Structure 1
Amino acid sequence: MKKILCPSMMCANYDYLKEEVINLDRAGADIFHIDVMDGIFVPNFGMGLQDIQCIRKNTKKPIDVHLMIINPENYVELFSELGADIIYIHPEAGGHPARTLEKIRALNKFRGIAINPGTSIETVIELLALVDYVLVMTVNPGFAGQRYLDFVNQKIKKLVLLKKDYGYKIMVDGAISPERINELSKWGVDGFILGTSSLFGKNEDYKDILERLKK
């Protein structure tokens, strides 16, 4: 199964964001992952609109936005216009997640839900028929550099089984090391958000890292 490798652009070098995008594109990145935070739904602030514009301008690869914000239904048009191809929402962040997902589909974008470590599958199972991607958070969202939460593995295994009925792709985000990629891909996970555990801050070419991870 082909691994979908998605650099987490929050971890990129912001002194050279344009060059980072071009280099990652040439190196074989599949999707550029963008974290958007409002300081309310999660206790941090994420990437800005100008960052998204810069990334969109310098790659033709798909871009996803992970909306860690309250009332995401008010902003999906904005991120669609900025060029996002995949839009993730947290079901508990707004009043009517099914309606928001339909709104994303009406914009001809791929629909995703992000599931926090403390969010159970049972609370979102009705939404699985409405999504193209399920992003499983393996750390509590908001900050890079956290420890992988092993108890989430049971949720991943359940979602892999459910995938056969619903047809979504499973992505994982949070402390995703090369060892985790190897393990989780064998279980049936499709894609991996790559941060400092596997891609950024290494004294090695992005192309060499991504080629090794894909193998």
Structure 2
Amino acid sequence: MNKIICPSMMCADFRSLEKEVLALDEANVDIYHIDIMDGHFVPNFGMGLQDFEYIREKTNKLVDVHLMIQNPSEYIDLFSEKGADIIYFHPETDMHPTRTIDRIRANGVKPGIAINPGTSVATVEPLLGLVDYVLIMTVNPGFAGQKYLDFVNEKIVELAKLRKERNFTILVDGAISREKIKELSILGVEGFILGTSALFGKEQDYKTIVNEIRQLPEV
């Protein structure tokens, strides 16, 4: 299975963001992952609109937006107009998630939902046939450097079974190390949001790291 590699740009070196994007482009990553937080839905502030615009301007690769915010529907048009290719939101933050999904798709953007560790598959199951991507949070969202929550694996297995009936791509986000990539690939995960556990802050260059990750065997 071809692994979808998505650098979590919250973990990039913002002192030299242009160099970071150029190096990641050269490493042939697949999707730039942009976390937008409001300090309410999660207890932190993530990247801002200007960060998104800058990265969007510097790459021709796909760029997604992960809206960890209240009332995400109010920002769909904004990020669509700014060039987002994929927009994730958390259904529990939205009174009318099906309407928000329709709005994302009407703007020519791929819709995705993000599922927190404490959110059950049953809660979001009615939406699975409406979205292109399902992002499974394997840590509680808001901060980098947390410990992987192993109980989420049961949710991954459950979603992999449901994917056979509906057409969506499964990605994971949170403490994704090389060992987790090998383990989760065999469970059916296709895409990996990579931060400090596997990509950023390492001695190797991004191209070497990404090539080695793509060649990791499934265990």
Whichever residue aligns with residue 180 of structure 2, its letter is: R
1:20 is paired with a residue whose SS is helix
Q: CA deviation at 1:80?
A: 0.8
Matches within 5 A, 1:110-125: 110-125=110-125
Partners of 2:196 and 2:83 in 1: how far apart? 25
Partners of 1:205 and 1:108 in 2: how far apart? 34
Partners of 1:8 and 1:107 in 2: how far apart? 24
Partners of 1:109 and 1:61 in 2: how far apart? 14
User: Which structure 2 segments of 5+ residues have no match?
Assistant: none
Deviations 1:15-45, CA, capped at 9 Å, x for gaps: 0011101110111110000000000010000
1:172 aligned partner: 172
Matches within 5 A, 1:73-84: 73-84=73-84
1:52 aligned partner: 52
| Aligned: 1:126 with 2:126 | yes
**In the alignment, is the contact (CA less than 8 A) between 2:156 and 2:188 conserved in 1?**
no
Partners of 1:42 and 1:111 in 2: how far apart? 21
Whichever residue aligns with residue 213 of structure 2, its letter is: L
Partners of 1:7 and 1:64 in 2: how far apart? 10
Deviations 1:88-119, CA, capped at 9 Å, x for gaps: 01000111011000000000100000000000
Partners of 2:33 and 2:25 in 1: how far apart? 12
Aligned residues: 215
Partners of 1:122 and 1:187 in 2: how far apart? 19
Q: CA deviation at 1:186?
A: 1.3
1:102 aligned partner: 102
Q: What's the RMSD between the two structures over aligned residues?
A: 0.5
2:156 aligned partner: 156
Deviations 1:140-173, CA, capped at 9 Å, x for gaps: 0000000000000000000011111111000000
**In the alignment, is the contact (CA less than 8 A) between 2:69 and 2:93 conserved in 1?**
yes
TM-score scaled to structure 2, two decimals?
0.97
1:71 aligned partner: 71
1:206 aligned partner: 206
Partners of 1:22 and 1:98 in 2: how far apart? 37
Partners of 2:214 and 2:88 in 1: how far apart? 24
1:155 is paired with a residue whose SS is helix
Deviations 1:55-107, CA, capped at 9 Å, x for gaps: 00110000010000000000001111111100001000111011000000000
Partners of 1:160 and 1:94 in 2: how far apart? 25
1:171 is paired with a residue whose SS is strand
| Paired-residue identity, % | 64
Partners of 1:89 and 1:187 in 2: how far apart? 24
2:143 aligned partner: 143
